[in-house]
Structure formats: C-alpha cells, structure tokens
Amino acid sequence: MSETNPAPIHPGIGAPRWLLAELSYKCPLQCPYCSNPLDYARYPDELSTEDWKRVLTQARRMGAVQLGFSGGEPLTRPDLIELVAHARELGYYTNLITSGYGLSEEKIVALKQAGLDHIQISIQASDPVLNDYIAGATTYLEKQAVARLIKKHGYPMVLCVVIHRQNIEQMPGILAMAEELGADYLELANTQYYGWAHQNRETLLPTREQFIAAEKIAQAHKEKVAGKMKIYYVVPDYYEDRPKACMNGWGSTFLTIAPDGVALPCHSARELPGLDCPNVKDYSIEQIWRDSRAFNLFRGTAWMQEPCASCDEKHKDFGGCHCQAYLFNQDMHSTDPVCSKSPQRWKVDAAIAAAATAAQAAEQPLLFRNPKNSKQFRPSGNE
Amino acid sequence: MSLDPEQSLQFSPLHRLQWEEAQQKYVILYPEGMVELNHSSAEILKLCDGAHKAADIVAELEAKFQASGLENDIHQFLSAALQNGWIKHV
C-alpha cells in the first residue's frame, strides 16, 4: 500500500469524517448558551502548532475530510493561517467557525490565500441592542461589516443565529438580515441545553407557542428563498418526542479535539463523569479512535438499558444524547429523556413548564460565559 | 432554475469536487457537508468545466462508455445538480 492509502480500521468501526478542532477557549464574546464546558477556565493549556499539524495529518490519513476550526474564538490563535494552509494541503474542506469579531479584511484575504474554503459567522440577533446584550460585547456593527467582507472575497458564507426565547420573536428580522447580508446558508440553531445553556434554560427556552410560530415563519421562508439561500433549521429537541441521533452515533463520524488536546466523541462530552478521554499528546488519533474506552463506550447497542435495548428504533437514534441523559438522570447510560418512551420524559416536560412560567414573570438575569463565571464551577467529571 | 441546453455548465465555485482516497469515491464538499457520488454522477460533474453544454456532455460520455440513450439520465442528473447549486450556467 502506498502512503496515501488510509490506515486500516478494525472491522465494524468506521473512520472519522468530521474533525472539530477547538483551537482555544479564549473568546471576546460571552454568549450565555456557549457550548464550551462550564469549567473551561480550568483548562488554559493549548496545543502547540506542531501538535495540531500532527493531529490534522493523522485524522486526514484515516479519512476525515470536513474540518471545523472553532473554539472559543479560533481567531485568537496566532498560527491560524498556518494551520489552515496545512489542512488545505492535506485535502480537508476547511471551515472557520467564528464570531467574526476582530476579523480584518487583511486576514480574510490571507486566509483565502492559505486555502480556507468557508466562513461561518454568528450573529446573535437582528438588532444591535439585543445582539450586543447576548454577546456580552459591542459587536453588531462589526459583525455586519465582516459578513459583507466575507462575501466580497468570494467565500461561501453560513450565517449562524442561535435561537432562544430572547430572540425567537425576531424571526422575520433575522431572515431579512440573512438575505440582506447575502448569506448562502442560514443556520437557525435552536439552543441545545447543555453546559451554559442548561444553566440559563429558564431564561432561554422558548414556549411551545413561540417555537411553533417561529418554525412556521422559517419553513415558509425556506420555499421563498429556494435556489438563493439554504436554511438549516435545527429543532429544539425538548419539543420532539424522539431523541436526536446524536453525533450520528457515538464514535461513528465526529471527532472533537479540545484546546488542550483532549479528544472527545462530542463537543459536550467533557461534562460526562468518568469518561476519561484520551489526549492527543499521549496517543495517536488512530489509537484514540479505535482503542480508547471513551470512544468505544457507546458504540453498538450492548450498552443500552430499557426502553432502548428492546426498541425497534434503536438503530435510528442510537438511544439519543448521553449528555442529556446525564443532565436529567445523572446516568449517561439511560435513555435520552426527550424520548416519549423514557420513564423520565416528565422531567423534560417539567423543564418546559418551568420556562413557560418564567416567561410570564420578570426575566431572570443571564449567566454569561466568561472566565470569572467559569471559575465557580468544579472540574468536569467530579460532580 | 431549469437546464438551458444553449449554455455551458460549470461546477459551482461555492462547492468542491474531490476524489477521496479513504472512501474510494468522488465527493462534493460544501460548508459543513458532503455528498458521496457514484461513478456516473462523478463522470458527468467532471465535464461541467465551463466549456461543455448538456449535449456535449452526453456525446462525450456516450463515446467514452460506448453507450447510447444516456440523454435522459444525464439531463435529469444535471437538472438536479442545478437545483442543488452544485453546478451553474456559465
């Protein structure tokens, strides 16, 4: 076999296709639904440039092809352009997932020259006051300017707007903003309630009525802009009666590397207790993917409890989300409580009811994602 | 957008067509997504190079594979590819 051939993988274990490289937990924004762990401030170490290059090379050799540079804010890494160039040379499709804050035209051009394929920029709301409040920083005008520069320089652009109770009634304004900015894709990502979002759930979870109304507007708009802009609508799973097929199956497709080199089967998995995820400083990507306990833990169906074990849909949703099972049931092996077959579904309904009650009352303050707030949380896995 | 037989076709600058050694197939890559292609789809898309019209693609592939009657299938695929934004008229 020549060197370009993929490394052999054990039978039954697929190869990673999607690599999420969380380059840094540093971020100038403080979004109260951030997907980083609550205690991220306890992990200030960052991999070196050489470590990242090795990780990218090893994962590509196994067959990873989509690569997301994320964080925190990936622009905080001074070696971002060098890493993009390395990734593009390896044949990755390179995605930069950024707040856009601090992205100069000079850097947009340099990244293009390095081979960056696509930029995803987040905007928090369709008006400056709410955007800047949710972001915890004055960023609205700069984000708008950066979005125009991204299109000016010929990138495909995804505009990502995380949806929650504070902005869900702006749906028409958000759709108009995306069109006006020339977004090729609009990702309307209903908040997923882990980590920071879980802490702020009563203030962020929309009511069922709000959710239904917003979805109707978004779906109608989908047809109107067909051929010009694609709309990805990420549903809030609390309002579903079957769980999402989380990560397309644990250890099947997705590989996340945290800033300090910890390899995770999903970007939220750091909050699972005792998972003991391996670090890329100690093991190769192939060893981690194929042999580590963490990546094998929820492969297949042998780990399942009832009602999953005897369910005829278990190959469709793989039992749902383990982080959600842990957050609600303190048992990551249990059925995702979103499922109407779960005996714990009432807990999700109670959370929906609590948010609906809170929506009637004066709004509670949000817990913003910043180092000071992060330091009040104990290290992951010791809860 | 429907297929215009008078216009040449080119692959979208917002997508990438690439051979994947690990999967032993061509794929279309775009923001955070991937479509795996079968052999014939890839052969059609490789000819969307800005110089070929639909009829040229049919003629070239019928010659290459010593086949006839490919027109319907190829037109159908090109129409779908236009709808998906993978190709566009020059």
Q: Can you tell me which residue has the tokens 């609508």?
A: A233
CB A85 within 8 A of CB A115: yes
Total residue length of chain B: 90
pLDDT tens-place string over residues A96-154: 999 999 999 999 999 999 999 999 999 999 999 999 999 999 999 999 999 999 999 99
Asked whether residue A259 carries a pLDDT value surpassing 50, the answer given is yes
Torsion on CA atoms A49, A51, A52, A55, rounded to nearest 10:
160
Instruction: Name the band, by pLDDT with cuts 50, 70 and 90, for residue A12.
Output: low
Cβ distance of A65 and B85 shorter than 8 Å:
no
Lookup: tokens for A154: 């010929």
CB A380 within 8 A of CB A277: no
ipTM score assigned to the predicted complex = 0.91
Of residues A213, A235, A225, A131, the one with CA closest to residue A185: A225
C-alpha atoms less than 13 angstroms from C-alpha of B68 in its C-beta half-sphere: 0
pLDDT tens-place string over residues A199-244: 999 999 999 999 999 999 999 999 999 888 999 998 889 999 999 9
Lookup: tokens for A133: 């409040």
Collect contacts of B74-80 with beta carbons under 8 A, ≥24 apart. B74/B44, B75/B3, B77/B40, B77/B41, B77/B44, B78/B3, B78/B9, B78/B44, B78/B48, B78/B54, B79/B2, B79/B3
Angle between helix A140-152 and A171-181 (nearest 10):
40
Supply the pLDDT for residue A2. 38
Asked whether residue A382 carries a pLDDT value surpassing 60, the answer given is no
Cβ distance of A65 and B30 shorter than 8 Å:
no
Cβ distance of A93 and B34 shorter than 8 Å:
yes
| Domain residue ranges in chain B | 8-89
Which residues in chain A are contacts of B15 at CB distance < 8 A? 156
Cβ distance of A63 and B33 shorter than 8 Å:
no
CA B56, B59, B64, B65 torsion-angle sign:
positive
The mean pLDDT of A236-258, rounded to a whole number, is: 94
Asked whether residue A380 carries a pLDDT value surpassing 80, the answer given is no
- Cα-trace Rg, chain B: 13
pLDDT tens-place string over residues A196-210: 999 999 999 999 999
Alpha carbon A211 to its chain centroid, in Å, reads 21
CB A265 within 8 A of CB A247: yes
pLDDT tens-place string over residues B28-75: 999 989 999 999 999 999 999 999 999 999 999 999 999 999 999 999
CB A297 within 8 A of CB A303: yes
Supply the pLDDT for residue A227. 81
Supply the pLDDT for residue B9. 97
What's the mean pLDDT when you consider all of chain A?
A: 93
Which residues in chain B are contacts of A87 at CB distance < 8 A? none
Interface test with B, best of A5, A62, A65 (most B CBs within 10 A): A65
**Residues β-bridged to residue A21:** A69, A257
Which residues in chain A are contacts of B31 at CB distance < 8 A? 95, 117-118, 120, 156, 158, 184-185
* Residue A89, SS3 per DSSP: helix
Asked whether residue A4 carries a pLDDT value surpassing 70, the answer given is no
Supply the pLDDT for residue A297. 95
Whole-angstrom distance, CA of residue A310 vs CA of residue A326: 21
Angle between helix B71-83 and B39-46 (nearest 10):
80
Instruction: Please give the share of chain A, as a percent, with pLDDT higher than 90.
Output: 90
- Cα-trace Rg, chain A: 20
First to last CA, chain A: 48
Lookup: tokens for A334: 């249990």
* Residue A276, SS3 per DSSP: coil
pLDDT tens-place string over residues A330-374: 999 999 999 999 999 999 999 999 999 999 887 788 999 999 999
Cβ distance of A158 and B31 shorter than 8 Å:
yes
Whole-angstrom distance, CA of residue B90 vs CA of residue A232: 28
| CATH fold label, B8-89 | Outer Surface Protein A; domain 3 (3.90.930)
Of residues A369, A343, A332, the one with CA closest to residue A198: A369
Asked whether residue A381 carries a pLDDT value surpassing 70, the answer given is no
Of residues A303, A380, A315, the one with CA closest to residue A37: A380
